[in-house]
Amino acid sequence: MIVTDNEGDDRTRGICEAAADRYGLDVRYLVEPRRGISFARNRGLDAVGPDADFIAMIDDDERPEPEWLEELLLAQAATGADVVQGRVLPAFAPGTPAWIREGGFFGYALPPTPFRHERWSDLGEISSAASGNVLMRNAAVADRGLRFDPRLALTGGEDALFFRSLRAAGHRIVYAERAVVWEDVPLSRTNLGYLWRRSYRDGAKRLAAKLWAKGPEASAWRVRGRLAVRAVVQAAWAGTWLLAKGLQRPKARALLAHGLVELANALGTLAACAGFAYEHYRRAGEAPPQPVAAPR
């Protein structure tokens, strides 16, 4: 078990050492001084030895079901896939508003929308994955020297790009519905402001994914233009949908929030196409990550 601490906290080291003694685990505690999720995850990948068959990853705000790892491995054995994406369910704090609990804003996979069509089925193939609950074949990662892009360390989206890179190289990704982890959702995230910022971030990072997918030969301005047109259509749809639903059901807060979230996503994409960067995880006064080479 590899634990990467992105803060360098002695208390965290003590927790890891105590867990290793109590449960008889081989725990490697690592400190990554460069802040950012790409750096932390890459530090963990660097510590994986060549004798490992698979790498499983989980986030620090998640708790797995007892059968979590077994279910990931069973799904891999049943499909032969190189990447298995598990299911993330939200664990809400007491006092969470009912419209948040019932709205389907948290967890993974997210419900489809007119601009997100993919429906996931157990053991079915999917187009990408996220690092909060995933199993991947070590050889598929090691053979390409693949790492999470440090340029996205403070923006997010580094995991989607990582797994899309694997899929583009011919590696299959499947969904394991029974491999469940619970993600803690604090009250500070159970409001429209947070949902807006998160969706805006997701829209803003879409440009980087599109540019990568098209490759260096593609015209960046053409990619930006096409994506901007799509975002304008998305924003128009979200605005029309909000107006219609607001007139029909003005008190349906979750329903209206979905429209606002879709609008935020479109605006984030338009801002990125116009050259504005949005770093969701950067602290006030913090310098941006240093430019580095793109992942291979």
Taking only the tens place, the pLDDT of each residue in 205-232 is: 888 878 777 777 778 888 889 999 999 9
Give the lowest-confidence range in 9-18, 96-105, 154-163, 257-266.
154-163
- pLDDT band of 289, cuts 50, 70, 90: very low
- Average of per-residue pLDDT across 140-154: 89
Q: Is the pLDDT of residue 291 over 90?
A: no
% of the chain with per-residue pLDDT over 70: 91
CATH assignment of 32-273?
Answer: 3.90.550
Q: Is the pLDDT of residue 49 over 70?
A: yes
Q: Is the pLDDT of residue 157 over 90?
A: no
Q: Is the pLDDT of residue 4 over 80?
A: yes
Q: Is the pLDDT of residue 153 over 50?
A: yes
Radius of gyration of the chain from Cα atoms?
Answer: 20
- pLDDT band of 173, cuts 50, 70, 90: very high
The answer, yes or no, to whether the previous bond of 109 is cis (omega within 30 of 0) is: yes
Give the pLDDT of residue 293: 37
**Domain boundaries of the chain, sorted by first residue:** 32-273
Give the pLDDT of residue 282: 56
pTM of the model: 0.84
Taking only the tens place, the pLDDT of each residue in 77-129 is: 999 999 999 999 999 999 999 999 988 899 888 776 665 666 789 999 998 89
The CA distance from 65 to 91, in Å, is 12
Q: Which amino acid, residue 182?
A: W
Closest CA to 155 of 32, 284, 277, 266: 277
Alpha-carbon distances of 49 from 46, 59, 109, 138, 139, rounded to whole Å: 8, 21, 31, 9, 11
- Average of per-residue pLDDT across 25-46: 93
Q: Is the pLDDT of residue 295 over 50?
A: no
Give the pLDDT of residue 294: 37
